[in-house]
Structure 1
Amino acid sequence: MSAASSVFFQGWLAMAGLIVAIGAQNAFVLRQGLLRAHVAPVVALCAASDAVLVFAGVFGLGQLLQGAPALMAPLRWAGAAYLLWFGVQAARRAWRADGALAVGGAAQSRTGVLLTTAALTWLNPHVYLDTVLLIGALGAQQAQPLAFASGAATASLMWFTALGVGAAALAPKLAQPRTWRCIDALVALAMAAVAWQLLSG
């Protein structure tokens, strides 16, 4: 294995270890996959966003954010507010036994879905902590930072593709009101947990 390949794999492994945790972004991709609605653009936006943040972190943005922690405060509050709002909507769907499936499967425009995806990605400080600060710091120390960043971005693309496509494949078996209530309840809990982490600092 060449030096570049080894660094690429290190980047892939570091990102893979971070991204599999259930969070707001993953929960939304999972839900869209189960709905089989706009899966490809959602996956593309998530992967592209992670790639931009990873490369920015590896090549300098991480050091900027470390030197100016006040920049994260407005983002933390805005992200927590949005996550709480999204979680409340999911909780309402889970509570309404007669309407959980209908609301959960309601058609939403591609623009609306992509705006929600962007908000859950770019308004979530955890994304910056993982991709920009942590991955960025690790990548900046490598002899071949480009290979490391490329490996991390590849792991993100593979994960979101597997999550979205895998959920879509399972959708026919999960299209029952009780299942959707459980899914929305989990989404609500995930959003609330991430929001609490943000608000508690």
Structure 2
Amino acid sequence: MSSVLPGLLTGLSLIVAIGAQNAFVLRQGLTRNHIAVVVAICAVSDALLITLGVSGVGAVVREHPTALAVLRWVGAAYLLAYGLRSLWSARRPQGLDPLAGRAVGRRRVVATTLALTYLNPHVYLDTVLMLGSVANQYGPDRWWFAAGAVAGSLLWFTALGFGARAAAPVLRRPATWRALDVVIGAVMIVLAVRLATG
């Protein structure tokens, strides 16, 4: 059980960083648009990827540098595109209204959540490789570490999605969304450059 807390803290430290997925969960929480589905997809996906990492898939991926190189370039392109899209959104007034997503259907929300989860290479680097490597240092207690990391993911996405309502007065301001889009865009572009340059 002493491995649960380190797993929880490690998982939270990796997931709390600002990123496209967190911004999307926050936006859906503000609009109250299929937020339970979004939180469930994000939490279950993290649990799956953490389990794969602890099972040793991370070690297999690490031994195949070609796969990592392909993932690195695809991921860099994805992050760059998302970053530029966020910067472009900051320029357009209609992209700043968090209530604009209210009419988006469940299928589109699910597709976007899955894309932001599985097309981001940092998800694999963080959950499969990094968390898997750290967890395996705990030997037979690695599954307790994994349980802590999964709990951290569930707590974070639930708090972010359903807690967005409390932050709504501040986050409904167009200036806040403009700043958020600019920060997300800049972070994604910096991550893309860092990923591309190794």
Q: Which range, TM-score by smaller chain? A: 0.7 to 0.9
Residue number in structure 2 paired with 1:26: 22
Residue number in structure 2 paired with 1:160: 157
Superposition pairs of residues 22-171 of structure 1, within 5 angstroms: 22-97=18-93, 99-102=94-97, 105-106=100-101, 107-142=103-138, 143-171=140-168
AA at the equivalent of 2:168: A
* Alignment partner of 2:184 out of 172, 182, 187: 187
Report the Cα distance in structure 2 between the residues aligned to 1:119 and 1:76, rounded to whole angstroms.
16
Residue number in structure 1 paired with 2:196: 199
User: Are 1:24 and 1:194, in contact at CA under 8 Å, matched by a contact in 2?
Assistant: no
When residues 36 and 90 of structure 1 are mapped into structure 2, their CA distance, relative to the original with a 3 A threshold, is farther
Report the Cα distance in structure 1 between the residues aligned to 2:96 and 2:175, rounded to whole angstroms.
8
Report the Cα distance in structure 1 between the residues aligned to 2:98 and 2:162, rounded to whole angstroms.
22
Stretches of structure 2 lacking an aligned partner (at least 5 in a row):
none
User: Are 2:4 and 2:149, in contact at CA under 8 Å, matched by a contact in 1?
Assistant: yes
Aligned-residue Cα RMSD (Å) equals 2.1
Report the Cα distance in structure 1 between the residues aligned to 2:71 and 2:83, rounded to whole angstroms.
18
Quote the offset at 1:150 in angstroms: 1.0
Is the partner of 2:73 in helix, strand or coil? helix
When residues 42 and 130 of structure 1 are mapped into structure 2, their CA distance, relative to the original with a 3 A threshold, is same
Report the Cα distance in structure 1 between the residues aligned to 2:9 and 2:175, rounded to whole angstroms.
36
Stretches of structure 1 lacking an aligned partner (at least 5 in a row):
none
Quote the offset at 1:102 in angstroms: 4.6
Q: What's the TM-score once normalised by structure 2's chain length?
A: 0.87
